[in-house]
Amino acid sequence: MGERTIIPFGPQHPVLPEPLHLDLIMEDEKVVGAVPSIGFVHRGLEKLVEKRDFNEMIYVIERICGICSFIHGQSYAQTLEGLMGVDIPPRAKYLRTIWAELSRVHSHLLWLGLMADAYGFESLFMHCWRIREKVLDIFEETTGGRVIFSVCKIGGVWKDIDNDTLNRIKVIVKDIGEEAKAVTDVFVRDYSVQKRTRGIGVVTYQEAIDLGAVGPTLRGSGVVQDMRTLGYAAYGDLNFEPIVEKDGDCYARTVVRVREVYQSLDLIRQCIEKIPDGEVDMKVKGNPSGEYISRMEQPRGQTFYYAKGNGTKYLERFRVRTPTFANIPTLLKILPGADLADVPVLALTIDPCISCTER
């Protein structure tokens, strides 16, 4: 047995500029254990609901994270709508789905860029982010914001997208798909990339279930589960199947995300073709009472929202279980046995979002 040393990974590290700290217990170049620390930037947002009107709170919730911002707002709105028995207009459901899937595209392209950066493909990193800019431009044109949109409200959405703009978005989305092809081919086919990802950080089917993995981390191990199949928003009207890869390694998790980019682009196209005319919001009266659970699929996986109202304008309890939190046990499983050089890639393959985790 080699001499054991502890290498602190984080809380600030070039590959993960978010405050996650791991004490890596090393034997020579091998990781034999990992102890996580989180909580460096915990914001106590779950507590803030007791002091903020439940309608105002949506603007706080969508600031949980810049990348999942829209879907956090959507999840909160959907939870409160469930709590208050509100069925929003169909057009609003489609608009939410379009913005949510655009969010997934930009999140996955951002992640692919970071992954390229992690194994030293700087040019690939920049190409991923260049393509992502087109998605941000759509956000800016349709909502006024590139990161935080503030377009979701309890009862629908604040803004409509006219049909001409939607048709133009359909063309842009097609272009994004064509441009992305050359880039994503590198992740799927390049020899060097495969050397860094194939057979590394394997999570078996059963381990992924037992460890509570979610999202691409779960589906990369062959488990068919996607919250969108619950049929919330417009997903019940759309034709899609969860994307699954079987190998459970870094490569499989990467390929799931690559394929999900194209799946999301297709879902946006379907939404634009099927979107009904009509109102995009409705008046919601009264205050929430009772409790409600909502589960949704963020780019990183399942998010769990729980809200408890007491008939006042302040919620009594609000809970967000984010996908990164659920994927931490999986990260702790894949690190032992890995080479130190693979740690950045392994940490990235669960797509950790500490911003979401420290809500």
Partner 1 sequence: MTERIINPVTAEELVDRAKQYLQNGYRLIQICCTKTPSEMYLLYSFEKLDLTLENLRLDVQSGDTIPSISDVYFAAFLYENEIHDLYGINVSGMAVDFQGTFYETAVKQPFNIIAADMKE
Give residues in contact with partner 1 (CB under 8 A).
37-39, 42, 44, 47, 50, 82, 209-212, 223-225, 227, 229-230, 290-293, 295, 302, 304, 306, 308, 316-317, 319, 321, 325-326, 328-329
State the minimum distance, in angstroms, from the CB of residue 310 to partner 1.
9
Report the C-alpha gap between 258 and 245 in whole angstroms: 11
For partner 1, the closer of residues 150 and 229 by Cβ is: 229
Cα dist from 80 to 100, 133, 345, whole Å = 18, 32, 38
For partner 1, the closer of residues 148 and 209 by Cβ is: 209
A 10 A CB-CB count for 50 gives: 12
State the minimum distance, in angstroms, from the CB of residue 205 to partner 1.
11
State the minimum distance, in angstroms, from the CB of residue 230 to partner 1.
6
For partner 1, the closer of residues 266 and 291 by Cβ is: 291
For partner 1, the closer of residues 47 and 174 by Cβ is: 47
State the minimum distance, in angstroms, from the CB of residue 221 to partner 1.
12
Report the C-alpha gap between 176 and 282 in whole angstroms: 33
For partner 1, the closer of residues 40 and 158 by Cβ is: 40
What spatial distance separates the first Cα and last Cα of the chain, rounded to whole Å? 41
Report the C-alpha gap between 64 and 73 in whole angstroms: 9
For partner 1, the closer of residues 97 and 357 by Cβ is: 357
For partner 1, the closer of residues 49 and 88 by Cβ is: 49
State the minimum distance, in angstroms, from the CB of residue 227 to partner 1.
7
For partner 1, the closer of residues 9 and 232 by Cβ is: 232
State the minimum distance, in angstroms, from the CB of residue 295 to partner 1.
7
Report the C-alpha gap between 5 and 23 in whole angstroms: 10
> Residue 275 carries which DSSP code?
P
What is the rounded radius of gyration, in angstroms, for the C-alpha atoms of the chain? 20
> Does 352 sit behind a cis peptide bond, omega within 30 degrees of 0 on the bond before it?
no
Phi-psi group of 86: left, alpha or beta (phi > 0 → left; psi -120 to 50 → alpha; rest → beta):
beta
State the minimum distance, in angstroms, from the CB of residue 212 to partner 1.
4
State the minimum distance, in angstroms, from the CB of residue 213 to partner 1.
9
Sheet containing strand 289-298, edge to edge, reads 289-298, 301-310, 315-321
**Can you say how many angstroms the Cα of residue 142 is from the centroid of all Cα atoms in its chain?**
21
Task: Identify residue 79 by its one-letter amino acid code.
Answer: T
Which residues have CB under 8 Å from 307's CB, separation 6+? 76, 79, 80, 83, 288, 291, 292, 315, 317, 318, 319
